[in-house]
Structure 1
Amino acid sequence: NITNLQSDKSGTEEMATAPKATTPGPCDFPSTIVRATIVQASTVYNDTPKTIEKAGEFIAQAAADGAQLVVFPEAYIGGYPRGYRFGIGVGVHNEAGRDCFRKYHASAIVVPGPEVDKLAEMARKNKVYLVMGAMEKDGYTLYCTALFFSSEGRFLGKHRKVMPTSLERCIWGYGDGSTIPVYDTPLGKLGAAICWENRMPLYRTSLYGQGIELYCAPTADGSKEWQSSMMHIAIEGGCFVMSACQFCVRKDFPDHADYLFTDWYPEQHEEAVVSQGGSVIISPLGKILAGPNFESEGLITADLDLGDIARAKLYFDVVGHYSRPDIFNLRVNDNQNKPVTFVSKSVKAEDDSEPQNK
């Protein structure tokens, strides 16, 4: 019996109960059920400690409702800089933009680091697998990153967004193929694609090729059209899709009239919606299990019957019986690519000892 549950911060709930399953036959096997929760909430901008504290409250609330997997939106820690210009124009810049970036950089976290340790402890304390969107700083370069934690409080690893969109490319670095993980967990095979990476067919295929079952899609896209993309991915990949987006209003953002919310967001009153959420959970059969919520911050929860994966792949397995590797084949470079590589003296000496062709 699968129950879909949505709740907002006030604690009100809506419940829709699916019909009871028929009596098991002789060839039936018990299904594995995973309760997954999306946190649809706004960053506390320019205040990472308070953002993490707020995350902890939502995680505890989700765990109290039985969640085993909790997924947060893109750039939840550090914040998605919606509407910011950072003083950037073609061939021009200004000091206000530099100062804005300084503050934004200060809100990002080092991975691994003390904030990662706090998140790991939250996962352990609440006994949940956790996928957290965060702004990661590596020196002075920022990466839009998804962090993965086990229910034992272990930091599993990260995925750095490989393709920032539009002006994001001016302030975020590019991830490489070394951080495109799918983790084999007791809940299922867990991975993520961030925002418009979900519109990159080859990126999606790299996740399908690793057997992804619990497909997390932290995003900043709260459009109605985004729902179609999520539906397509669930059916294409034969996986559960959990798309998490922030719900933000104008008062959630710091006040910077010079380069924030001037042309794009003309409504200046405090309650004007800036990011409308739209978080949703979809099954491999293309059924909406919970959401979308376009109204408020809150939790979006559904019970995932992992047996639906096999049911979905009876007719279509994109990297299995419905593939043609003799015609089409994807090659993924999963090496770490660094801009500077130092060759040790021992390797140099070995190279120098080799006979030279003349």
Structure 2
Amino acid sequence: MPVIRASVVQTCTAAYSLPDTLNKLHRLAKLAKERDGSQLAVFPEAFIGGYPRHSTFGAVIGSRSPEGRDEFLRYHQAAIEIPSPAITQVEAIARETELFLIVGVIERDGGTLFCTAVFIDPKSGYVAKHRKLMPTASERLVWGLGDSSTLSVVEGTFLAGDVTTKAKLSSCICWENYMPLLRTHYYSKGVQIWCAPTVDSRPVWQSTMTHIALEGRCFVLSACQFAQQKDFPPDHSVPLNCPRDPESVMIGGGSVIIDPLGQVLAGPLREGEGVLTADLDLDEIIRGKFDLDCVGHYARPDIFQLSVTGN
């Protein structure tokens, strides 16, 4: 029975401070390893670099303000490059904890930022990244669009005593999960563990995660941020008609782990930061594909075909 012990980490950026955020990553990765015995841990969307919820960056159609440009400068400075000393630190954390890490970051590439997830192997270090293909709504103001060059499905090797287990992992960030053809691409690559870093804390998000687990007959690990006003810089925007209150919730969590038949194994977590852990029995994937393999016996390739540019 090939089993991987996996965690989703519900946390948030520390007020755009890279050193403080990396310290949180270290502390929570150690918790997942030492308390729960995890081999894999998924951190939320934009964990390193921050998700600028409620920010407008001083922009309306046809006009940008100097204050908004200053805010973008601060946000740009909080982002990281790949590779970089920050990635080296994440590699060191993965190596120390013996955890395969998937971490949401804001990636800086020249003057453009990308919402990215990095794959960090405890032995090999950084092995791949995925850039969010389609930022949602106002996110497009500050994030560039990814392309087909980072649609990675990565094979991870997981050790537990004398037992070695291999599994194929993907990352699909927030509302990318609503892109049917992207899902089909990952299914066609044989994804077994579907990692969904997100900031979508709506209850309906759970329906999306359950659907993907059922549709793809894969394990779904959704790691969402939980953030309060105190987790942002003091002058960060807050919702309209919302008083400034350090304890007020800005992003409400909802991290969850779901199996290939849609059963919730852990979560959803709502009350603050934390780590959820579950055992992933990879044989459950094949048991599920007995009656549904959406890129195999249920695909009808005589009628439908998928073409992915550059792949």
- Please give the TM-score of this superposition, normalised by the length of structure 2: 0.95
8 Å CA contact retained: 1:189, 1:212:
yes
Aligned to 2:161: none
Aligned to 2:17: 47
2:232 matches 1:261: no
Distance 1:182 1:143 in 2: 19
2:219 to 233, 237, 240: 240
Distance 1:200 1:292 in 2: 23
2:307 to 331, 336, 340: 331
- Measured after TM superposition, the shift of residue 268 of structure 1 is 2.3
The alignment covers a number of residue pairs equal to 302
Q: Report the 3-state secondary structure (helix = DSSP H, G, I; strand = E; otherwise coil) of the residue aligned with 2:168.
A: strand
Aligned to 2:59: 88
2:196 to 217, 232, 237: 217
Percent sequence identity is 48
2:128 to 138, 144, 157: 157
- Measured after TM superposition, the shift of residue 53 of structure 1 is 1.1
Provide closer, same or farther for how the CA distance between residues 277 and 262 of structure 1 changes in structure 2, counting only shifts above 3 A.
Answer: closer
AA of the residue aligned to 2:238: F
Q: Which runs of structure 2 are paired with 1:1-358 in the superposition (5 Å)? A: 31-64=1-34, 65-186=36-157, 187-256=166-235, 260-263=237-240, 266-334=242-310
Gaps of 5+ in 2: 158-165
4+ runs of 1 displaced by more than 6 Å?
A: none
Q: Deviations over 1:137-169 (max 9, x none)?
A: 000100000000112142111000000000000
8 Å CA contact retained: 1:193, 1:217:
yes
Q: Report the 3-state secondary structure (helix = DSSP H, G, I; strand = E; otherwise coil) of the residue aligned with 1:198.
A: helix
8 Å CA contact retained: 1:73, 1:133:
yes
AA of the residue aligned to 2:179: M
8 Å CA contact retained: 1:130, 1:150:
yes
Distance 2:127 2:193 in 1: 15
Q: Deviations over 1:142-201 (max 9, x none)?
A: 000000011214211100000000000010000000000001222410111000000000
Distance 1:202 1:188 in 2: 22
Q: Report the 3-state secondary structure (helix = DSSP H, G, I; strand = E; otherwise coil) of the residue aligned with 1:55.
A: helix
Q: Deviations over 1:22-56 (max 9, x none)?
A: xxxxxxxxx11111011101101221111011101
AA of the residue aligned to 2:193: L
Distance 2:100 2:210 in 1: 23
AA of the residue aligned to 2:300: R
Aligned to 1:17: none
Distance 2:204 2:59 in 1: 28
8 Å CA contact retained: 1:279, 1:293:
yes
Q: Report the 3-state secondary structure (helix = DSSP H, G, I; strand = E; otherwise coil) of the residue aligned with 1:167.
A: helix
AA of the residue aligned to 1:51: T
AA of the residue aligned to 1:106: Q
Q: Deviations over 1:51-110 (max 9, x none)?
A: 011101100111112100000000000001101110011112111111100000000000
AA of the residue aligned to 2:23: E
Q: Report the 3-state secondary structure (helix = DSSP H, G, I; strand = E; otherwise coil) of the residue aligned with 1:119.
A: helix
8 Å CA contact retained: 1:277, 1:296:
yes
Q: Deviations over 1:226-263 (max 9, x none)?
A: 00000000000000000010101111111226xx1142
Aligned CA-pair RMSD: 1.1
AA of the residue aligned to 2:283: G
8 Å CA contact retained: 1:176, 1:334:
no
Gaps of 5+ in 1: 1-30, 336-358
Distance 2:131 2:270 in 1: 27
Q: Report the 3-state secondary structure (helix = DSSP H, G, I; strand = E; otherwise coil) of the residue aligned with 1:158.
A: strand
AA of the residue aligned to 2:217: G
Distance 2:79 2:245 in 1: 28
Q: Which has the larger radius of gyration?
A: 1
AA of the residue aligned to 2:264: I
